[in-house]
Structure formats: structure tokens, C-alpha cells
């Protein structure tokens, strides 16, 4: 567990540096990314080793995306779009059913796109872009993981809304948080 935590800390600190260096990135203190990533990687310790890269990747991307979403109220393309090949590659390496991952990604993307089209104020385009890659992870876990994560993401977002009532709650942290939690059941 200590090695996971230390590795997560280093990868998180690198992520903060990456956020500062990219166009339309975010100027964040390294601890905002390093400490949560270290904690999430340590909490992933019980996952089978073959599947471990999946919650690690979701945690790392999730922390970076959440930091930007909380700070700037957006999910940048430079994180959401590269998530697709990263997630696909990690799922392939972990031996996931890629057809089910593709189906989960399309279903989750479609659901979020429909919500965005019906009520653009309730969900941003970045949430829609992120949903496909997260849906691939969820589909790899199971078909049941998709509705479970959708409900859990809503609960997390509502909790954030209660915590920060003056700001409209970002949905990105709920999406990645729910996917990370559900990904712990995979493998």
C-alpha cells in the first residue's frame, strides 16, 4: 500500500505540473493533485493486480479533471479526449472485454449527450466528452455498473451542491468519482 501511495503522490505531482504547462491548463499547487492521487491509489490496494491499472488511471485523470472543474468550471479537451486512447489501451492490457467496453462507452456517452441536449444548463459538453471513456471502464466492469455509476455520480454531484451552494455544482467530479468507485469492483 505504501508503494501505491508513493507512486500516486509522484504521478499526481506530475499531473499538477502537466496542468500548469498545457494550453488552457490550470495553475494549481502540486499538493492539490499529489495528495488525492496518493490517497486514491492507496485505497485501490485491494484490487486484483491485473486490473489495478484501471482504477489507477481513473483516479489520476479524475483528480486532474476535478481540480480543473472545481477551479475553472470546465473539463478541458486536453484531458477528456486523450482519455479515450488511454482508457482503451489500459483496458486492453488488463484483458477487459473490449466489445463490452465499447458498448458501455457508447451507451454512457449517448445518455449524457441526451441529457445535455435536453437541458444544456444541467450538463456541459466536457461532461459529455468524458462520459464515453468512463462508460468504457464501467462497461468493462459489468452492464449493471452503468446505471449504478449514473446514480452514484448524481449523488456525488448533489453532495457537492450542498457543500458549495452558491456555485452551480460541477458534474465532472461526480462522474469520475463514481467511475473510480465502481472500477474497484472490476477485474
Rounded distance between C-alpha atoms, residue 87 and residue 55, angstroms: 10
What is the tens place of the pLDDT at every residue in 133-152? 999 999 999 999 999 999 99
**Angstrom distances, CA of residue 73 to CA of 18, 42, 122, 157:** 18, 28, 13, 13
Q: Does residue 59 lie within any of the structural domains?
A: yes
What is the reported pLDDT for 89?
98
Which of these ranges, 12-21, 118-127, 177-186, has the smallest mean pLDDT? 118-127
What is the reported pLDDT for 92?
97
Q: Does residue 167 lie within any of the structural domains?
A: yes
What is the reported pLDDT for 168?
75
Q: What angle do CA 31, 75, 109 make, to 5 degrees?
A: 130
Name the domain count of the chain: 1
What is the tens place of the pLDDT at every residue in 3-48? 999 999 999 999 999 999 988 778 889 999 999 999 999 999 999 9
What is the tens place of the pLDDT at every residue in 57-99? 999 999 999 999 988 888 999 999 999 999 999 999 999 999 9
Q: Does residue 43 lie within any of the structural domains?
A: no
Q: Does residue 66 lie within any of the structural domains?
A: yes
Q: Does residue 68 lie within any of the structural domains?
A: yes
Q: Does residue 35 lie within any of the structural domains?
A: no
What is the reported pLDDT for 130?
97
Looking at the chain, list the stretches that DSSP marks H as alpha helix, in order from N- to C-terminal side: 2-21, 30-43, 53-72, 77-80, 83-93, 98-118, 125-141, 145-163, 172-183
pTM for the model: 0.94
Domain hosting 160: range is 51-183
Q: Does residue 23 lie within any of the structural domains?
A: no
- Provide mean pLDDT across the span 167-186: 92
Residue 165 pLDDT class (50, 70, 90 cuts):
low
Q: Are 152 and 173 within 8 A, CB to CB?
A: no
Rounded distance between C-alpha atoms, residue 86 and residue 106, angstroms: 16
Q: Does residue 163 lie within any of the structural domains?
A: yes
Amino acid at each position: 500500500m505504501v508503494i501505491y501511495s508513493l507512486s500516486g503522490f509522484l504521478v499526481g505531482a506530475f499531473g499538477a505540473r502537466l496542468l500548469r504547462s498545457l494550453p488552457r491548463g490550470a495553475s494549481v499547487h502540486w499538493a492539490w493533485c499529489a495528495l488525492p492521487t496518493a490517497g486514491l491509489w492507496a485505497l485501490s490496494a485491494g484490487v486484483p493486480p491485473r486490473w489495478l491499472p484501471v482504477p489507477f488511471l481513473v483516479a489520476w485523470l479524475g483528480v486532474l479533471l476535478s481540480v480543473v472543474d472545481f477551479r475553472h468550471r470546465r473539463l478541458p479537451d486536453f484531458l477528456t479526449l486523450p482519455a479515450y486512447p488511454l482508457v482503451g489501451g489500459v483496458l486492453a492490457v488488463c484483458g477487459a472485454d473490449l466489445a463490452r467496453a465499447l458498448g458501455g462507452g457508447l451507451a454512457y456517452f449517448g445518455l449524457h449527450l441526451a441529457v445535455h441536449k435536453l437541458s444544456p444548463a444541467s450538463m456541459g459538453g466536457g461532461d459529455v466528452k468524458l462520459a464515453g471513456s468512463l462508460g468504457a471502464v464501467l462497461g468493462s466492469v459489468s452492464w449493471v455498473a452503468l446505471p449504478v455509476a449514473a446514480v452514484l455520480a448524481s449523488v456525488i454531484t448533489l453532495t457537492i451542491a450542498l457543500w458549495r451552494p452558491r456555485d452551480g455544482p460541477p458534474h465532472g467530479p461526480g462522474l469520475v468519482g463514481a467511475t473510480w468507485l465502481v472500477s474497484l469492483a472490476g477485474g
